[in-house]
């Protein structure tokens, strides 16, 4: 019953047009070129002129190539067999495994009814103190990791994937270097987390259209797992590449750009993905962490700017550490009052002292004389950075809190911390 | 609203959520039509007509639509159903109750499912007020039903023109919204049966009032910085622009709890679903201090979050303002909070792009400004046909790209609103709440404090701020003691009056009476000279004074603790050997 056409009317960039009848919006087709078959998706219909974006790109497509419409929309196979596997943006195996075609589910489905969501109030442990202790990640939260290129954001994601308290990890890679894919695969399999991970990978060498499909594929799979009562953590890297892919397609299709070349619906497109983060009433949850590289360290660039309006805070990766001042988890107060009673107070006190340390460093750099208090702060800052801020630290929240007290006790007297005496009496380490 | 019922057309093109339709007969602009895809019909609106092709925006996802699909035109514009039972509801942008959708479709908002906005089964206790023979007009009422604590008036529908004679009115008793409760006849004797509900096109303003009045009555928000310095009037408009994370939503959330109005309508337009969930979880538990009932009973939520289709995002602001006008017609004061108008503007931009219109600044359509002004102009304070007064106040947040207020939406909004509460990244980073920047914000309305007094304090703010920025360059050493004291006074004013603790029930809810009382004390303290010898002494004096004021803020107004707190401040004042300046003296005496 498939409709087949042999005449391509126009080819611009990754978009081809075909004269065809009875074609549905967003329907899939295959294009057979001399380099093999590629998927294509209908994204505009004007009378009998149908535009399709070709997943493998327009390079080498001939006007005489065969276009075969499949009669269904983009789908992804869903089953436990996905775990431990890697796929590309078309849903084909990226590893050497077999193709999965059973139990196909549509991608990019409708949004969750707000009345079926529940208030985010469960902590997701990552065993990274800068997250658990200072900007707690909450189940169903959506948080970007703002970063400049060159920062170890993929290392951070891999670490979170291994340590996070999630049932299933879905990793979506957009514009990855192949090395990065190998790094993820190796690290996760060494750390024993590969068996609960599904990867959707688009490398920088792969066609742009596939890049745009990665978040939808990853989130559709995550949603399915969540409906089976699983707590799913979705890791996306890098959303700026996703936005750039969208920009490329929009410009090719002669859409009016709005801000620095990005299409006018950038906000809606990003929101449609991020809003898939959910804690279902009576089922599992989806939590999203997404790397967003900021071109030129500029947070007002359209991609991080629109992202900031959508997400519930951000982690700010700078100098190989999660920066405590720029980072914010907006939902942390929903959970950090219930962990341990010293959590909030210790968090505030340590950040306050760390901020004083930063001032002292500035003073020191300007050549001022260091007094005794300054010396204490300098010692504290160094310990804090080495023992808690380093991304290689793997500590449970409770151990991190204990370590925090230890650091304070190593550097200060009790009354120099500015905390409630009651807490100090209970938690101050005995030397 | 010409009736071309069952007029149909065929799809000839699809581009995103815009569909082109070939039609016969007549089609009107902004008419509602349904695109049939398989077993579902997708609600859409005509947004452009060229020859025999109409372009329509579909309020749902458009996947699966193909050329040749049937389109049925309804002859009606997008309407809202108005009647008893709106309060406490949670609607999507097209007035479908979300809990009902959840019952029918489960977790997801499946497309093509539409439900009744009002409960058709529920019986309302109707009391007639009109009697046969009375002459009535649109916007006058024939009876009332109780809705929560409100007297809900049953109107002669707003769309009827001219005078009508009441033929019969139903007796006191329980009726559903679709039962006839009165029959009226026009001058030719054509009888029209009335029910308790009717429909009104959302994009048209309701104008069934006698006259529009100037907005002069202050709407208390219980936020000191707003009520004292940048007040909002009932029937007025204001906007809150700010970069992400500056606390726009939190500020609106507190306003929705404490504002001195009868009804609050929250339009969550293109923002996070999580925030709506917070309101949904919190509001039914909270008690409205005015009525002692659940806060939800005075609230309507229109929720079209960022991942829901954009076209209905555009509809949602109009639906909300229509509901606001409806309750205003009952002589009530209604506050509409729209969060965020930028997302609505972006929805306009998306459609404009698909229509291939010539783009204006940042690709926003050229009509952006007139749409924004027309929306805010639907606010107003009016005298109703029965002589009572009602108002709609509109407060909209704006989310400017990059936090830069020079962008088109902020600028277009600033032209039409009566008050501007600009949030700054600097203040929010310093964890100052509310993060309204007193140096850039303004208001054209009259507040709860005499203008001379706020001018006096504003002066301290400006002066202190100048000194503060100079101190960053020359350091504390290079600043003279009198200047340094002004700087300390500015810091104190900011900390004890401009900032407020939104988590503390007493501090977050600061009444106008209390604001007037506290401001007099502040003027006395800040308008005085003290015997302070050096900067250390000055700093520690004002630190102590600040702490006393903050403690005072947490005590209940006029309670014993409040008196004790005030005495503490007076004692501190005497410790510093304060002598009140002439200006401050005159202000405190004359302004009572």
Q: Which domains does chain B have, with CATH numbers?
A: 7-78 (2.40.10.170), 124-196 (2.40.50.100), 213-443 (3.40.50.300), 451-590 (1.10.1140.10)
Residues 6+ apart with CB under 8 A from B198: B81, B82, B83, B155, B157, B158, B159
- Structure tokens of A393? 């630290």
B-proximal residues of A, 254-283, CB under 8 Å: 255-259, 263-265, 267-268, 271-272, 274-276, 278, 280-281, 283
Residue A19 touches chain B, beta carbons under 8 Å: no
Q: Which two tokens stand for residue A108?
A: 């990019």
Q: What is the per-residue pLDDT for B247?
A: 85
Mind listing the pLDDT tens digit for each residue in B452-474?
Answer: 999 999 999 999 999 988 887 78
Q: A36 forms bridges with which residues in the sheet?
A: A33
d(CA B167, CA B169): 7
Q: CA geometry: angle at A165 spanning A163 and A171, to 5°?
A: 70
Where do runs of H (alpha helix) occur along B533-581?
A: 535-553, 560-575
Share of chain A above pLDDT 70, in %: 100
- pLDDT band for B590, please (50, 70, 90 cuts): low
On whether any CB of chain A is under 8 Å from the CB of B277, the answer is yes
CA distance A116 to B279: 14
Q: What pLDDT is stored for residue B355 in this prediction?
A: 87
Q: Where are the domains of chain A?
A: 3-73, 76-114+146-331, 343-427
Q: What is the pLDDT of residues B279-289, one digit of tens each?
A: 888 888 888 87
B88 class by beta-carbon count within 10 Å (0-12 exposed, 13-18 middle, 19+ buried): middle
Q: Which residue of A has its CA nearest to B306?
A: A271
* Residue B410 CB partners (closer than 8 Å, separation 6+): B239, B241, B398, B400
Q: A306 and B401: CB-CB below 8 Å?
A: yes
CA dist., res. B319 & res. B10, Å (int): 28
Tell me which residue of A72, A61, A54 sits closest to A3, measured CA to CA: A72
Place of tokens 């389109």: B71
The pLDDT score that the predictor gives to residue A1 is 55
* Residue A420 per-residue DSSP state: -
- CA-nearest of B396, B364, B322 to B93 is B322
Local structure of A167: helix, strand or coil: coil
Q: A412 falls in which pLDDT band (50, 70, 90)?
A: very high
Strand partners, B238: B395, B419
Mutating which of B281, B402, B409, B426 best tests the A interface, going by the most A Cβ atoms within 10 A? B402
Chain A hits for B245, CB-CB cut-off 8 Å, are 308, 313, 328, 330
Contacts of B364 in chain A (CB under 8 A): 258
| Residue B122: half-sphere exposure toward Cβ, Cα within 13 Å | 15
pLDDT category of residue B477 using cuts at 50, 70 and 90: confident
Tell me, what's the ipTM? 0.87
Strands B135-136 and B164-169: antiparallel
| Beta carbons of B78 and B203 less than 8 angstroms apart | yes
pLDDT at B592 over 60: no
Pairwise CB contact (< 8 Å): B346 & A265: yes
CA distance B23 to B33: 11
- Whether A283 sits inside 8 A of B270 (CB atoms) is no
Q: How far is B140 from chain A (nearest CA, A)?
A: 36
Q: Which among B350, B399, B404 has CB closest to A268?
A: B350
Of A114, A255, A310, the CB nearest to B277: A114
Q: What is the DSSP letter of A255?
A: P
3-state secondary structure of B142: strand
**How many CB atoms are located within 10 Å of the residue B241 CB?**
28
Q: Which of the four pLDDT bands, split at 50, 70 and 90, describes residue B2?
A: very low
Q: Which stretches within B32-138 are classed as H helix?
A: 98-105
Q: Given B15, B65, B305, which is nearest A114 (Cβ)?
A: B305
Task: Detail the DSSP E strand segments found in A310-408.
Answer: 313-318, 321-322, 328-329
Interface of B with A in 109-168 (CB under 8 A): 109-111
Answer for the pair B488, B465: CB distance below 8 angstroms, yes or no. no
B501 touches chain A (CB under 8 A): no
Given an 8 Å threshold on Cβ–Cβ distance, is A309 in contact with B399? yes
Contacts of A112 in chain B (CB under 8 A): 107-109, 273
The 10s digit of each residue's pLDDT in B539-573 is 889 989 988 998 899 999 999 999 999 999 999 99
Q: What average pLDDT does range B207-221 have in this prediction?
A: 94
Q: Is it the case that residue B93 has pLDDT exceeding 80?
A: yes
Burial class (CB in 10 A: 0-12, 13-18, 19+), A283: middle
Query: Taking residues B359-374, what's their average pLDDT?
Result: 92
Do the chains contact at B308 and A257, CB–CB below 8 Å? Answer: no
Across the interface, of A25, A119, A264, the residue whose CB is closest to B346 is A264
> Within an 8 Å CB–CB cutoff, is residue B316 touching chain A?
no
Q: Does B102 touch chain A (CB under 8 A)?
A: yes
According to the model, what pLDDT value does residue B591 have? 44
In this predicted model, what pLDDT tens digit does every residue of A189-209 receive, in sequence order? 999 999 999 999 999 998 888
- What kind of architecture, by CATH, is found in domain A3-73? Beta Barrel (2.40)
Q: Is B54 helix (H, G, I), strand (E, B) or coil?
A: strand
Take residue B69 and report the two structure tokens written for it. Answer: 């699909």
B451: Cβ contacts below 8 Å, ≥ 6 apart? none
Measured between beta carbons, which residues in chain A are less than 8 angstroms from residue B356? 256
pLDDT band at B113 (very low <50, low <70, confident <90, very high): very high
Verify whether the Cβ–Cβ distance A111 to B353 is below 8 Å.
Answer: no
Instruction: Report pLDDT for B16.
Output: 86
Reduced to 3 states (helix: H, G, I; strand: E, B; else coil), residue A140 is coil
Q: pLDDT confidence of B323, banded at 50, 70, 90? A: very high
CB under 8 Å, gap of 24 or more: what pairs does B433-437 form? B433/B247, B433/B250, B433/B499, B433/B500, B433/B501, B433/B502, B434/B223, B434/B225, B434/B226, B434/B247, B434/B251, B434/B499, B434/B500, B434/B502, B435/B242, B435/B246, B435/B247, B436/B225, B436/B226, B436/B230, B436/B240, B436/B251, B436/B498
Question: What CA–CA distance (Å, rounded) separates A427 from A405?
Answer: 7
The pTM of the full predicted model, rounded to 2 decimals, is 0.91
Tell me the chain A residues in contact with residue B111 when contact means C-beta distances shorter than 8 Å. Answer: 110
| A367 lies within 8 A of chain B by CB | no
- Contact between chains at A258 and B362 (C-beta distance less than 8 A): yes
Instruction: Determine the residue of chain B that is closest to A301 in CA distance.
Output: B402
- Domain A76-114+146-331 fold: Rossmann fold (3.40.50)
**In 3D, which of B255, B245, B232, B335 has the Cα closest to residue B500?**
B255
Do B402 and A300 contact (CB within 8 A), yes or no?
Answer: yes
Q: Which of A187, A146, A428 is nearest to A300 (CA)?
A: A146
Q: What is the DSSP letter of B157?
A: P
- Rounded to the nearest 5 percent, the helix, strand and coil shares of chain B are 35, 25, 40
Which residues in chain A have their CB less than 8 angstroms from residue B404's CB? Answer: 300
The predicted-structure confidence for B124-172, as pLDDT tens digits, reads as follows 999 999 999 999 999 999 999 999 999 999 999 999 999 999 999 999 9
Query: What CA–CA distance (Å, rounded) separates B154 from B170?
Result: 12
**Nearest partner of A71 among A39, A128, A41, A29, judged by Cα:** A29
Higher pLDDT, B25 or B333: B333
d(CA B86, CA B179): 18
Identify which of A272, A289, A358, A262 has the alpha carbon closest to the alpha carbon of residue A146. A289
Q: Is residue A383 packed enough to be buried (19+ CB in 10 Å), middle (13-18) or exposed (0-12)?
A: middle
At A300-313, the pLDDT tens digits run: 899 999 999 999 99
Supply B88's token pair: 């406490």
B 45-84 residues with CB below 8 A of A? 61-68
Q: Which of B108, B272, B364 sits opposite A113 (nearest CB)?
A: B108
Q: If you ran DSSP here, which 8-state letter would residue B479 be given?
A: S
Mean pLDDT for the stretch of residues B523-538: 91
Residues of A in contact with B108 (CB under 8 A): 109-113
Beta strands B90-91 and B135-136: pairing type? unpaired
Chain A residue with CA closest to B243: the answer is A309
Name the token pair of A16: 């081809």
Residues in A closer than 8 angstroms to B15, CB to CB, are 44-46
Residue A234: its pLDDT value, please?
A: 97
Q: How many helices (H) and strands (E) does chain A have?
A: 11, 21
Q: Is B284 on the interface with A (CB under 8 A)?
A: no
Q: Residue A43 is encoded by which pair of tokens? A: 């994204």
Does A26 contact B62 at a Cβ distance shorter than 8 Å? yes
A73 touches chain B (CB under 8 A): yes
Using CA atoms, how far apart are residues A53 and A41, in angstroms rounded to an integer? Answer: 5
Q: What is the pLDDT of residues B572-583, one digit of tens each?
A: 999 888 888 888
- Which of A139, A278, A309 to probe by mutation at the B interface, max B CB count within 10 Å? A309
Sign of the CA dihedral with B373 first, then B374, B376, and B380 last: positive
CB within 8 Å of B211: residues ≥ 6 apart: B382, B383
Please, which pLDDT band fits residue B5 given cuts at 50, 70 and 90?
A: low
Q: Which two tokens stand for residue B466?
A: 């100048």
Nearest to A259 among B14, B356, B362 (CB): B362
Alpha carbon distance B112, B121 (integer Å)? 23
A20–chain B Cβ distance below 8 A for any pair: no
A chain contacts of residue B99, beta-carbon cutoff 8 Å: 115
Taking the C-alpha atoms of residue B443 and residue A253, their distance in angstroms, rounded to an integer, is: 45
Neighbours of B114 (CB within 10 A): 17
Q: List chain A residues with CB under 8 Å of B244.
A: 305, 308-309
Residue that is written with structure tokens 């600097």 in the block: B426
* Rounded Cα distance, B31 and B397, in Å: 29
- Cα torsion B338, B341, B344, B345 to 10°: value is 160
Which of A48, A267, A308 is nearest residue B67 as measured by Cβ atoms? A48
Among candidates B102, B270, B356 on the partner chain, residue whose Cβ is nearest the Cβ of A116: B102
Judge: B109–A328 Cβ closer than 8 Å, yes or no.
no
Percent of chain A at pLDDT > 90 equals 68
């Amino acid at each position: 019953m498939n409709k087949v056409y042999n005449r391509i009317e126009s080819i611009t960039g990754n978009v081809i047009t075909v004269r065809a009848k009875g074609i549905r919006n967003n329907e899939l087709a295959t294009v057979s070129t001399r380099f093999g078959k590629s998927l294509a998706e209908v994204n505009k219909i004007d009378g009998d002129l149908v535009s399709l974006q070709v997943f493998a790109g327009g390079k080498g497509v001939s006007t005489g190539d065969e276009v075969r419409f499949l009669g269904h929309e983009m789908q992804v196979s869903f089953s436990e067999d996905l775990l431990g596997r890697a796929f590309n943006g078309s849903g084909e195996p990226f590893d050497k495994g077999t193709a999965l075609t059973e139990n196909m589910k549509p991608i990019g489905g409708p949004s969750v009814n707000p009345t079926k969501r529940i208030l985010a109030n469960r902590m997701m442990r990552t065993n990274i103190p800068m997250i658990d202790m200072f900007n707690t990640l909450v189940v169903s939260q959506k948080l970007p990791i703002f970063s400049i290129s060159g920062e170890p954001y993929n290392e951070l994601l891999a670490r979170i994937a291994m340590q996070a308290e999630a049932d299933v990890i879905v990793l979506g890679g957009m514009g990855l270097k192949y090395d990065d894919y190998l790094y993820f695969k190796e690290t996760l399999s060494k750390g024993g987390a590969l068996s609960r991970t599904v990867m959707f990978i688009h490398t920088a060498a792969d066609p742009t259209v596939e890049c745009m499909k990665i978040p939808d594929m990853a989130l559709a799979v995550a949603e399915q797992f969540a409906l089976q009562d699983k707590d799913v953590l979705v890791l996306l890297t890098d959303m700026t590449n996703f936005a750039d892919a969208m920009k490329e397609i929009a410009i090719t299709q002669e859409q009016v750009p709005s801000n620095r070349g990005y299409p006018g619906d950038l906000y809606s497109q990003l929101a449609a993905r991020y809003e898939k983060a959910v804690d279902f009433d009576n089922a599992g949850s989806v939590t999203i962490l997404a790397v967003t590289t900021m071109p030129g360290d500029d947070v007002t660039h359209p991609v991080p700017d629109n992202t900031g309006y959508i997400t519930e805070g951000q982690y700010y990766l700078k100098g190989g550490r999660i920066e405590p001042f720029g980072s914010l988890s907006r939902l942390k107060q929903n959970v950090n009052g219930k962990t341990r009673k010293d959590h909030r107070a210790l968090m505030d006190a340590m950040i306050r002292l760390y901020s004083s340390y930063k001032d002292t460093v500035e003073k020191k750099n300007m050549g001022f004389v260091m007094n005794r208090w300054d010396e204490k702060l300098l010692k504290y800052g160094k310990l804090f950075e080495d023992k808690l801020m380093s991304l290689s630290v793997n500590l449970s929240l409770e151990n991190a809190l204990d370590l925090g007290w230890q650091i304070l006790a190593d550097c200060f007297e009790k009354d120099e911390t500015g905390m409630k005496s009651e807490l100090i009496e209970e938690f101050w380490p005995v030397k | 609203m010409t009736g071309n019922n069952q007029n149909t057309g065929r799809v000839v093109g699809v581009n995103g959520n815009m569909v082109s339709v070939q039609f016969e007969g007549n089609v009107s602009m902004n008419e509602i039509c349904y695109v049939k895809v398989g077993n579902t019909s997708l609600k859409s609106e005509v947004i452009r007509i060229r020859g025999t092709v109409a372009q329509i925006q579909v309020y749902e996802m458009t996947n699966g639509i193909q050329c040749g699909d049937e389109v049925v035109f309804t002859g009606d514009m997008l309407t809202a159903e108005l009647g008893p039972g709106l309060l406490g509801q949670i609607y999507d942008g097209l007035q479908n109750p979300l809990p009902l959708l959840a019952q029918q479709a489960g977790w997801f908002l499946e497309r093509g499912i539409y439900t009744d906005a009002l409960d058709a089964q529920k019986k309302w206790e109707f009391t007639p007020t009109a009697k046969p023979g009375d002459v009535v007009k649109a916007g006058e009422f024939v009876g009332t039903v109780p809705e929560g604590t409100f007297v809900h008036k049953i109107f002669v529908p707003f769309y009827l023109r001219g005078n009508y004679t009441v033929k019969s009115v139903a007796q006191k008793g329980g009726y559903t919204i679709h039962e006839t409760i009165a029959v009226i006849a026009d001058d030719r004797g054509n009888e029209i049966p009335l029910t308790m509900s009717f429909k009104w096109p959302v994009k048209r303003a309701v104008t069934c009032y006698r006259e529009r009045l100037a907005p002069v009555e202050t709407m208390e928000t219980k936020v000191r910085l707003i009520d004292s310095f940048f007040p909002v009037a009932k029937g007025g408009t204001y906007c809150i622009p700010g970069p992400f994370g500056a606390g726009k939503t939190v500020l609106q959330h507190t306003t929705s709890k404490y504002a001195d109005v009868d009804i609050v309508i929250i339009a969550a337009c293109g923002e996070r679903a999580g925030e709506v969930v917070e309101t949904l979880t919190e509001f039914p538990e909270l008690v409205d201090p005015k009525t002692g009932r659940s806060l939800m009973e005075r609230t309507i939520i229109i929720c079209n979050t960022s991942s829901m289709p954009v076209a209905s995002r555009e509809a949602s602001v109009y639906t909300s303002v229509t509901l606001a006008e409806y309750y205003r017609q009952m002589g009530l004061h209604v506050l509409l909070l729209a969060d965020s108008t930028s997302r609505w503007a972006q929805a306009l931009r998306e459609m404009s792009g698909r229509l291939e219109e010539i783009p204006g600044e940042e690709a926003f359509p050229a009509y952006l400004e007139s749409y924004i002004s027309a929306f805010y102009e639907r606010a107003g304070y009016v005298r109703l046909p029965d002589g009572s007064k009602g108002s709609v106040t509109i407060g909209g947040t704006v989310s400017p790209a990059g936090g830069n207020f020079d962008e088109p939406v902020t600028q277009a909004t600033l032209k039409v609103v009566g008050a501007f509460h600009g949030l700054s990244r600097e203040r929010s980073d310093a964890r100052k709440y509310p993060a309204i920047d007193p140096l850039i914000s303004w208001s054209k309305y009259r507040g709860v404090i005499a203008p001379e007094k706020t001018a006096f304090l504003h002066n301290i703010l400006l002066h202190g701020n100048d000194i503060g920025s100079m101190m960053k360059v020359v350091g504390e050493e290079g600043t003279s003691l009198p200047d340094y004291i002004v700087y300390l006074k500015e810091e104190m004013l900011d900390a004890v009056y401009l900032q407020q603790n939104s988590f503390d029930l007493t501090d977050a809810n600061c009444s106008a009476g209390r604001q007037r009382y506290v401001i007099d004390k502040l003027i006395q303290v800040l308008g005085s000279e003290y015997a302070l010898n050096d900067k250390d002494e000055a700093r520690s004096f004002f630190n102590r004074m600040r702490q006393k004021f903050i403690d005072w803020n947490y005590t209940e107004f006029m309670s014993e603790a409040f008196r004790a707190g005030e005495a503490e401040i007076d004692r501190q004042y005497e410790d510093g050997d304060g002598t009140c300046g002439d200006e401050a003296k005159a202000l405190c005496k004359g302004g009572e």
